[in-house]
Amino acid sequence: MAPDFDGSSTSFKKVCVMDAGGSFGSALVHRLLQRGYFVHAAINTHVEIEDSKNLRVFHTDPLDYHSIVEALEGCYGLFYSSDQPFYDESTAEMEVRAAHNVLEACAQTDTIDKVVFTSSATAVTWRDPSDSTSSSPSPDVDERNWSNVNFCKKFKLWHGLSKTLAEKTAWALAMDRGVSMVSINAGLSLSPDLTITHPYLKGAAEMYDDGVFVTVDLKFLVDSHICVFEDVSAYGRYLCFNRVINCNEDAVKLAQILLPPDVSSLPPSITVGESRMVPQRISNKKLNKLMVDFDCEDPIPSSQI
């Protein structure tokens, strides 16, 4: 049965948001409430969120299967995201276990009809230059590409490794258990808490030189998730970004957000005053086409931008 989003059926409006305590999760919860959803906000931190008329809070551990099942009870959809403050060689195993638990819980929850799985562009962009095989006929990067696991291990790109393996695990289980799922492969989210230590930024200079360093505004990221959830034609993976960092001006602006105002701290490939443009080698046409008619007028509170 197709979901009813006109407000006539509240059963189709109840959704769960996992990791609702973070910048993205809290902004997503707010937008869903604005659009008339009843939200189960699943948090695994000490963030203080109180129940309200259309909001119920659950303390959920992605590694605790039963706590996930409890949070999903009665929900039609799930928005799942998981980000760690630090990534190393052991993080991938944890994120794979969490993804498996979440998709298995969805498969066991009769009311769940759709899952939006938040992944990362780092699960797409890391390709071994020496590898002649490619899942895409184009030299450019799009949703058909997967990051090379061995390449990520070799260069200790732990964020890309974790996101690739976790997303592949989710897709394998979703297909095996008949769970309807779409994934959002997001660029670097320009959230209020972004710092230079964000794990996504490991290898940023190489992404810049390859023309695949992308960022996404918090509002656009939230709207993209809701769009792929509500649109019955949405399928597969969606690269999500609204800016490509491929010129010195943009690189300097981003570096000044992340770093103290010290030009000497900028990467050596970026020099203020130089005019350098790197060809864009990544495409988000699939998502942009889907979002053409999406209503994204509702503002996100300034405290969440």
Domains of the chain: 10-242+284-293 (3.40.50.720)
Pairing mode, strands 214-217 and 236-240: unpaired
- Which residues form the catalytic set? 163
Residue 35 to residue 72: CA distance in whole angstroms:
20
Q: How confident is the model at residue 138 (pLDDT cuts 50, 70, 90)?
A: low
Q: What is the pLDDT of residues 187-214, one digit of tens each?
A: 999 988 888 899 999 999 999 999 999 9
Rounded mean pLDDT of 229-252? 94
Whole-number pLDDT of residue 98: 97
Q: How confident is the model at residue 246 (pLDDT cuts 50, 70, 90)?
A: very high
Per-residue HEC secondary structure of 264-302 comes to: HHCCCCCCCCCCCECCCCECCHHHHHHCCCCCCCCCCCH
Q: What is the pLDDT of residues 68-119, one digit of tens each?
A: 999 999 999 999 999 888 999 999 999 999 999 999 999 999 999 999 999 9
Averaged confidence pLDDT in the chain? 87
Rounded mean pLDDT of 236-243? 97
Whole-number pLDDT of residue 296: 67
SS3 content of the chain, % helix, strand, coil (to 5): 40, 15, 45
Rounded mean pLDDT of 151-158? 96
Task: With beta carbons less than 8 A apart as the criterion, state whether 206 and 36 touch.
Answer: no
Whole-number pLDDT of residue 253: 86
Whole-number pLDDT of residue 282: 96
Task: With beta carbons less than 8 A apart as the criterion, state whether 19 and 40 touch.
Answer: no
Q: What is the pLDDT of residues 276-303, one digit of tens each?
A: 789 999 999 999 999 998 876 554 443 3
Strand-by-strand arrangement of the 243-244 sheet: 188-190, 214-217, 243-244
